[in-house]
Amino acid sequence: MSPHQIAALMHIYVGTFTLKEVSEIAGLSLKDLEELRTKASFMRLVDNFKKEYSYEFREALLINDYSIEEYETLAADYSMLDEMLQIQIKVPLFTQLRDLSQSLNSKEAYGLKIETYDLRVFTRPLHFFMFVEKYGQTLTTRILSDIKQVAEKVLSVKMDDEVNKTLSDPVSMRSRRLKELKARLENLTSK
């Protein structure tokens, strides 16, 4: 990857990394990075990286089963992302989670069979958002509380207990993940 591409990619972490840190990781001067940020082609590349990353993050979360510990790691990683990227990930996932919750609640109320697939697709984003909330309360906290009640009724599991048994200190977990990210970036840029 060229320094310009690395700098564009690193914009997914703006907010966690300062522009000075992004420029250092990319091997550019801060002045060069600031100049790049005034160019439409560079910012379009940044937007394309964010769009692609958002899509891949959502798809991975919906398709794959993770351990409860891995959901905590995903939430820590998510908390380091650029705010706009967090929104690009959160809105579609949370909308799907809310819709699935309503569907499961209706099936439960009417005694209809709930498919294992539906439960798996429901619990994946639910676990993720429960950990995300530990990194910072959001406007969806109240709705998530309602969704957890549906989950507890349908799954017969205390959702908060499951998360709290696993939860590390969010600050230390985020710090550890940041160190790991910096180490991976050093390996990437030293090649």
Backbone angles phi, psi at 162, to 5 degrees: -60, -45
| Block residue for tokens 């995300």 | 132
Please report the sign of the dihedral spanned by the C-alpha atoms of residue 15, residue 18, residue 23, residue 29: positive
Q: What pTM was estimated for this model as a whole?
A: 0.81
- Could you report the per-residue pLDDT of 88-131, keeping only the tens digit for each? 999 999 999 999 999 999 998 898 888 888 888 999 999 899 88
Distance CA 57, CA 38 (A): 28
Beta carbons within 10 angstroms of residue 24's beta carbon: 17
The secondary structure of residue 37, as a DSSP letter, is T
